[in-house]
Structure 1
């Protein structure tokens, strides 16, 4: 795909074709190396490593063939998500999207504008940047602390209240806990930031919250803070990453605006069926989250005992710094059937590997292989 794209770029000056917007022409799209992973131990993309509840599989297998020919229906899904959250929300405060990536894209499409500012942190989830670039936005990325990876609260507050451009940022995007550093920010601080900047849409990406417990939702009052929006998913916990379903939760007017820029049937029927089944088996999800949390603590203890530099805080992942060439370690792990994610070129964490956390047995396999490769 990359070679084909490069060939097109070389040929394009001589080919007559409609010109895209300047932002698109200079855009470097977010891409992830996802091919050839299915037979490997997948510790590279923070996915659920064992699959969804058996009840999800049963529900998918029970879909009648003729239903595949019918456009998807969403009746009751918002209410089911709200019941699962056990919060006093209304259905019009719950937006449904084809994965949280689609929700993020819709947020930028609805609220991003040429010359407006996205305020965020660095390093963080890589998809925020191309979404901002395609709208022609300026990006102000405040780095985490270089040693502890603590959230740069005062610098973010200053950028909100005393913006260099004279205009408040259009969007503030906080990944909490942050991917890839695991940095956690207390819900109270997020609410304070939203209250202090009513002209900024404060988006909290909570994909990994279940592994940490820092959700802003129990304290959120979207009537008082209509500029607060929270993103959730069934990908990381319930194991539905391959079906793509995500949620945006906030003030009804904001949810309505970001929903306007999506297609009418973006979420397919299989995802809807799987979501209903997953929401009905919360015990399965809770057990998986507990297993991952325990495995995270176990691996962190092994790293401490072996003297391996690492950072672990929130989410179903951690960072470690090999004492030898990280690219060579990454490749050797791949050859052993284990995938991790190299953080090459990312600010503050260059030279590290991000390791997703699975079950205890999976992490024992990883650790034994890592020890053998690095001769610890």
Structure 2
């Protein structure tokens, strides 16, 4: 009783505020982009580096003022996604979310519970871990294999025998670019009907390895695919993503989100972006060309690197990576240090933009690395 009175008498003490769940208290939040990035060459978070289609900008500018005052409406957006994918899906098989991050969060809220297991790979997208931790889940992260960071297919198959609650596969994987063939993903889902197999396809456009064209959700209701308009269509700032799968699973995930999580501007932009697929295709083609060019420069210069899929690659500086990171920043170029990441500690992840943008990065990188004596 004395301790309680002491806490009340000293509201600034740590014990005076309402305590969260133990999982939240020990949680380390995902590291989001730093502020002040806009005037710089942003090669740190795998964003579209040139902006969205002019049709998107025009559609946003045409939004009437009274539309801002009302709650958003989503009529037709699911159908627009299906038309863009050109797949035999029903609208109830498409979930709408405030970015794929919100979809991932909702998946864990709907399906993750204390004591259950998330099965995934390592290293992979960092947001999976805090989402699992906040639900009190155990995390089984199986390392990629060898110098090429091959997908650990057999260890994953073996781990599925224990019926983990969730299997999360980033394909291609961020940050290693590792790719797993769609047929192999379908086989994993078929072998583990009690496990929700989630395939994060944010970077699929840069490789063409989507599981969606082959997926039969009526026979594989435990398969869920995530898509976004952030990396390709340039809508990262508006936050809109999709979860595609069996209608019952999409419904359960949607139940744990707010009724108006996606704002009207994002909806308008999504409609416009989905209609202008030619713009997206052109940007993706330019990134792939720049990725090939960048990999060749690194190879000729003898720089250790790894590139396989996605709009990014890994480089290992000869100098201290933190110093190279800071000197690139001083030159107006942002990259992402992989400090502490298993298997790739000491590397920098470099997002791929246009050929001109990659020339700027390469010129700065060569100069900085040549400073070593």
TM surpasses 0.5: yes
TM-score of the superposition, structure 2-length normalised? Answer: 0.96
Structure 1 counterpart SS, 2:133: helix
CA distance in 1, matches of 2:14, 2:243: 44
CA distance in 2, matches of 1:350, 1:207: 23
- Equivalent position to 1:309, from 282, 285, 304: 304
Partner residue, 2:6:
none
> 5+ unaligned residues in a row in structure 2: which ranges?
1-10
* Deviation string, structure 1 residues 12-48 (Cα, Å, up to 9, x no partner): 7544222211111111111223201000000000000
Partner residue, 2:105:
105
State the Cα distance separating 1:203 from its structure 2 match.
0.1
Partner residue, 2:360:
365
* Deviation string, structure 1 residues 72-112 (Cα, Å, up to 9, x no partner): 00000000000000000000000000000000000000000
Q: Kindly tell me: are residues 12 and 107 of structure 1, through their superposed partners in 2, closer, same or farther at Cα, counting changes over 3 Å?
A: farther
* Deviation string, structure 1 residues 306-335 (Cα, Å, up to 9, x no partner): 000000000000000011111111100000
TM-score of the superposition, structure 1-length normalised? Answer: 0.95
Partner residue, 1:229:
224
What is the aligned residue count?
361
Q: Is the aligned partner of 1:198 residue 2:198?
A: no
Partner residue, 2:26:
26
CA distance in 2, matches of 1:228, 1:23: 27
Partner residue, 1:340:
335
Structure 1 counterpart SS, 2:238: coil
> Any conservation in 2 of the 1:146–1:348 contact (CA below 8 Å)?
no
CA distance in 1, matches of 2:298, 2:72: 47
Q: Is the aligned partner of 1:351 residue 2:346?
A: yes
CA distance in 1, matches of 2:314, 2:351: 9
CA distance in 1, matches of 2:184, 2:352: 27
CA distance in 1, matches of 2:17, 2:42: 40
> Any conservation in 1 of the 2:167–2:196 contact (CA below 8 Å)?
yes
- Equivalent position to 1:259, from 251, 254, 262: 254
Q: Is the aligned partner of 1:170 residue 2:165?
A: yes
Q: Is the aligned partner of 1:282 residue 2:282?
A: no
Partner residue, 2:237:
242
Compute the RMSD of aligned alpha carbons.
Answer: 1.0
CA distance in 2, matches of 1:275, 1:343: 32
CA distance in 2, matches of 1:142, 1:182: 16
> 5+ unaligned residues in a row in structure 1: which ranges?
1-10
What are the equivalent positions in structure 2 for 1:153-168 lying under 5 Å apart? 153-161=153-161, 163=162, 168=163
CA distance in 1, matches of 2:282, 2:301: 29
Partner residue, 2:84:
84
CA distance in 2, matches of 1:50, 1:344: 28
